[in-house]
Amino acid sequence: MDQVFVRGLEVETVIGVYDWERGIRQRLVLDLEMAWDISAAAAQDDLRLTLDYAAVSQRLIEYVSSTSFELIETLAERVADVVLGEFQVPWLRLTLTKPGAVQAARGGVGVVIERGQRAP
C-alpha cells in the first residue's frame, strides 16, 4: 500500500498532568504515515482523488490546539480517530512527540501508535 505522510507538524495545546502544565500551552510534534492508494490520483492527475495532506494537517492543527488532555496517549488515540474517521484512511502510524518534557531527551519523548488495517 502506498503512503502519504506529514512530518514535523507542530501544534500548541494544553497537555500534561502537573498543575503548572495545565496553565500553559506546550508544543507537540506530530508525524503521520497514512495508507492511501495513490494510483488513481496519479493516473488522472486529479487532486480530488488524493489524500489531501494539507486538509489533514489543517484539521489536526485545529483539533489539537482546541483540546486539553493530561496524557499524550489519550491525545494520540483521539488524533487517530479523527484521521481514520474523517478522512477514511484505512491505516495510520502516528508519532506524537512532546519536546522538552524530559530535559535530557534532546529528541523529545512521546508515543508511536498504529491504528486501522494495513493492506498487504
As a whole number of angstroms, the distance between CA 91 and CA 82 comes to 12
CB-CB contact of 24 with 77 (8 Å): no
- The C-alpha atoms of residue 65 and residue 103 are separated, in whole angstroms, by 23
Residues 86 and 34 sit within 8 Å (Cβ to Cβ): no
Which of the following is catalytic: 11, 16, 30, 98?
98
Please compute, for residue 71, the number of CA atoms within 13 A of its CA located in the half-sphere on the CB side. 6
Instruction: Tell me whether residue 2 is one of the annotated catalytic residues.
Output: no
Can you say whether residue 108 is alpha, beta or left, with left for phi > 0 and alpha for psi between -120 and 50 degrees? left
What residues are annotated to the active site?
Answer: 98
